[in-house]
Amino acid sequence: MKPSNKTKNIIFKLSAILILLSAIIYSFNAEIAKYVMIVGVAGYAATMFTTPYPGKNIRGKRLYNIMIFAVLLMAVSAYLMFAGMKQWIICLLIAAVLTLYGSIMLPRIYKNEQDDENNHDSSVKKS
C-alpha cells in the first residue's frame, strides 16, 4: 500500500515539528529530546526518500541530493545527541540551512522547468 501525497505531507510536517521540538526540549530534558529527535528524523527521512524529485532538471536533482545529505546530517545529529556530544547542534544547524535553501529553491527550479516545457510545447504546436 502506497501512502498518498496528503499523508506524506502530514508526516513530513509533523516530523519537522518534532525535530524542532527536540532541539528545544533538549535544554529541559535531554533524555526525552533524544527519542523525539529519532522519531522526527525517521519520519522526515521516510518522506524524503519516498518522494523523489519529479523533474528532469540537473540542478533540481542536485538540490534534491543536497536535501538528502541534510537528512543524513540530521541522523548524525540524532546519533551525537544519543552519544551525549554537543556537536549535534552544529550538525543540525547545517542540516537546517541546507534544508531551508533546498525548500526555497526546489519549487522555483521545478516551476521554471514546467514553464520551459510549456513554452517549448506551445512553440512546437505553432510551427
Averaged over successive runs of 10 residues, the pLDDT of the chain (127 residues) comes to: 80 93 92 94 92 84 93 95 92 94 89 79 59
- Residue 117 confidence (pLDDT): 75
CA dist., res. 30 & res. 25, Å (int) = 7
- Residue 110 confidence (pLDDT): 84
Query: What confidence tens digit (pLDDT) does each residue in 33-48 have?
Result: 999 999 999 999 999 9
- Residue 88 confidence (pLDDT): 93
Range list of β-strands (E), 24-103: none
Q: Which of 43, 45, 37, 39 is nearest to 83 (CA)?
A: 37
pTM value?
0.83
- Residue 41 confidence (pLDDT): 95
- Residue 114 confidence (pLDDT): 82
Q: Where are the domains of the chain?
A: 5-126
Q: Give the Cβ contact number of residue 71 at 10 Å.
A: 19
- Residue 120 confidence (pLDDT): 67
- Residue 124 confidence (pLDDT): 57
